[in-house]
Structure 1
Amino acid sequence: MQGWFQKEIRTDKSVSGVLTGRSGRSHIAGFSLIELLVVIAIIAILVALLLPAVQQAREAARRTQCRNNLKQFGLALHSYHDSHSTFPPGVSSSADGLQVYANANAMLLSWFEQSALSDLYNMEAEWHSQSPNVASQVIPLFLCPSNSKTNPFEISQLAILGVPIGTRFAATDYVYSRGAADAWCSALFQGQKLPGCGVFAPNYGARLRDVTDGSSSTMAMGEAAGGSGWPLCHGSGCTEVFEGSDGPVAASNPWILGPVSNTDLFNLGIIVSSNWGSTVERLNKRPVTDTMADLTALDDCRSSASGGTHSTSGFRSDHTGGAHFLFADGSTHFVSDSINQTVYQSLSTISGSEVVQWPAQ
């Protein structure tokens, strides 16, 4: 009986992780070093296999949100069109372009459920005279989650325009299409439609009936990523990054921004992108061409592709392989950055009479 009872005790101990040998001494069960290293290696392999899938899932979610933001722009633009029988002008300005007031973003604020901010915006005052509290207001809908940058940010060079020093600007990652035109000639500000024009221009927003190429085949807006990954260069076709006093100057698009830069401002060190996008240059060109009016050629309305000396930034995104675009009918499409350039430009004009086969997605 004693031996049987002692055996039972030993059996219980082994179940609880304690082993008893012939000597009566106990040993704690555990992993050997080799077994531990094998487990760690297996975990590392699993992480290496799963991490790309997790990252892809996150980027897919960011891309979906980015596209949905553009859809909200489409709803706002069509609500505006229902009320005014036209899309809003890309920006309102004096006929000579010297006084620049509200841009399309500001005009759409109330349709973005930003009525309080809209009430603060003085539509009768120039864009740079708005309250710093308005300029710095971050609007989540205006931001693509795939694009990382400082937001809001400061553009100290704008002090020359009367912008209070220290004013910070909130960004937008979506810009309005100028089509395959990029000139900033005087006639443009006076309402003249340029060859290759898009849905938007200064003092002009197209009516749906003006989009004779078909609203489902005409880009209205597209992505325009900013931040240090998108440095600026000067002049259409440029390849050399512009170096400012603090290093390369990055493309940045304040949602409130109205005007474009010009040769006089450039000579003072001001170089900017804008709230406009053009298809004159290829999609996702890097570095980004600046947006600038050549004050010595205000009578020249030719695009830079035809020898003109003005320039407009192109569309770009932080998504791999292309960018999202909003079309005039309110639909959204992801356009590959390997798209044929002629097709790309044809998709951006409102009345070019081109026959375009929509590229496979």
Structure 2
Amino acid sequence: MNALISLGTVRPRGQRGRNDRRDGVTLVELLVTVGIISLLVGLILPAVQAAREASRRAACVHNLRQLMLAAHAYAATWDGMPPSLTGGQLARGIGNSFSLHCRLLPYLDLQPLYASINFGLPGVTLPMIAPGNASVLDIKIATFLCPSDPAADANGGAVSYRINVGPCSDCPDTRTGAFVSFRATRFAEYADGTSNTLAFSEKPIGSGRSASSAFRDWAMYEGLLERKDPADAWRSACAAQRSARRVWATDGGGSWLLGGAIYTAFFVAGPPNDPIPDCGKMSFVGTGLFSARSYHPGGVNAAMADGSVRWCESSINLAAWRAMGSRAGGEIVDPR
């Protein structure tokens, strides 16, 4: 008993032995740990963001392919690709302008929605939509929305994918785009080949009622335009506008229901992600510079008339981009 007791050592309270364990960590150890964790987060976060963007871009490519499959299904039924817009003059000062996207609805398994649209009612711009068609304005169609666009979830009936209607509405060759107004386009009219003709690309949805954005929105232009080379004239005119004097329209891409460059079309006058902000004049088709853009870093996805989808970099040669925008211009261009 005495031998067992003698193995223990009694110390005064408050004194520690050399081998006693400490509770907690020092400030230096804490800072080192936080620094290591921060470094790991800094290395992992870009990889996670890149993976998410790759997934969104893949979903975007899928949406464009679905749109082209629908367009080809329309062509098989109606002997030609769908018109860029349909409608006409109903009365003096009153017209209607319905998009190509409307015509694709039955081929996207949305026949009931298509049947709910009254194509005989007026509706040129969003404030002028006839009450009979107002019910479809806020219907979201996932196939029309790019998941990389932050506004895709915020705006109801918005659209991210626009159709190519040529260099500009003022250009002599304005009807050389992949789609033309009021009639179907037969495949024989794609003299450059459907694999060389740009059909759909991307464009950010307008900022709506929030603060304007030079990337998303377009500025009103009231000046005169040189009639020679209108595509270049529009680029020069929009570039010359002073930032402080720009009056922005924020409803771009706000409705898949309506046709024209304000809502569902774009021009190839400027390259993808053109550094020159869009500008133009209000009309039922949209007149001005309305360039393809996207939130994918470095370029845009582009669907060709044969149904393939390509990646077009922002640095693409402008002449090549414009050549892709014509269906019968005699140019055979490899966008790579």
Sort the TM-score into its range (normalised by shorter chain): 0.7 to 0.9
- Residue of structure 2 in register with 1:359 after alignment: 335
Change (3 A) 1:184 1:275: farther
Q: What pairs up with 1:13-32 in 2 under 5 angstroms? A: 28-32=22-26
- Does structure 2 retain, via aligned residues, the 8 Å contact 1:291–1:312? no
- Does structure 1 retain, via aligned residues, the 8 Å contact 2:267–2:291? yes
Give, in angstroms, the shift of residue 223 of structure 1. 0.6
Give, in angstroms, the shift of residue 150 of structure 1. 7.2
- Does structure 1 retain, via aligned residues, the 8 Å contact 2:166–2:174? no
**In structure 1, how many angstroms separate the alpha carbons of the residues matched to 2:281 and 2:111?**
30
| TM-score normalised per structure 2 | 0.78
- Residue of structure 2 in register with 1:318 after alignment: 295
Of the three residues 269, 273, 284, the one matched with 1:280 is 269
Q: What pairs up with 1:215-294 in 2 under 5 angstroms? A: 215-226=194-205, 227=207, 228=213, 229-235=215-221, 236-237=234-235, 238-239=238-239, 240=241, 241=243, 243-244=246-247, 248-250=248-250, 252-258=252-258, 260=260, 273-285=262-274, 286-290=276-280, 292-293=282-283
Q: Residue 312 of structure 2: SS of its match in structure 1?
A: strand
Q: Which runs of 5+ in 2 are unaligned?
A: 10-14, 124-128, 208-212, 222-233
Deviation track 1:164-187 (CA, whole Å, cap 9, x = no partner) reads xxxxx62101111112242289xx
Of the three residues 15, 33, 40, the one matched with 2:34 is 40
Q: Report the structure, 1 or 2, having the larger strand content.
A: 1
Of the three residues 180, 188, 202, the one matched with 2:167 is 180
- Does structure 2 retain, via aligned residues, the 8 Å contact 1:182–1:280? no
Give, in angstroms, the shift of residue 28 of structure 1. 4.8
Deviation track 1:152-206 (CA, whole Å, cap 9, x = no partner) reads 65xxxxxxxxxxxxxxx62101111112242289xxxxxxxx4661111221332
Q: Report the count of equivalent residues.
A: 298
Identity of aligned residues (%): 27
- Does structure 2 retain, via aligned residues, the 8 Å contact 1:101–1:125? no
Of the three residues 132, 147, 150, the one matched with 2:149 is 147
CA RMSD of aligned residues (A): 3.2
Q: What pairs up with 1:1-361 in 2 under 5 angstroms? A: 28-94=22-88, 99-127=95-123, 128-129=129-130, 130-149=132-151, 170-183=157-170, 194=173, 197-226=176-205, 227=207, 228=213, 229-235=215-221, 236-237=234-235, 238-239=238-239, 240=241, 241=243, 243-244=246-247, 248-250=248-250, 252-258=252-258, 260=260, 273-285=262-274, 286-290=276-280, 292-293=282-283, 310-356=287-333, 358-360=334-336
- Residue of structure 1 in register with 2:231 after alignment: none
Q: Residue 75 of structure 1: SS of its match in structure 2?
A: helix
**In structure 2, how many angstroms separate the alpha carbons of the residues matched to 1:57 and 1:291?**
40
Q: Residue 200 of structure 2: SS of its match in structure 1?
A: strand
**In structure 2, how many angstroms separate the alpha carbons of the residues matched to 1:72 and 1:359?**
22
- Does structure 2 retain, via aligned residues, the 8 Å contact 1:273–1:312? no
| TM-score normalised per structure 1 | 0.73
- Does structure 2 retain, via aligned residues, the 8 Å contact 1:184–1:294? no
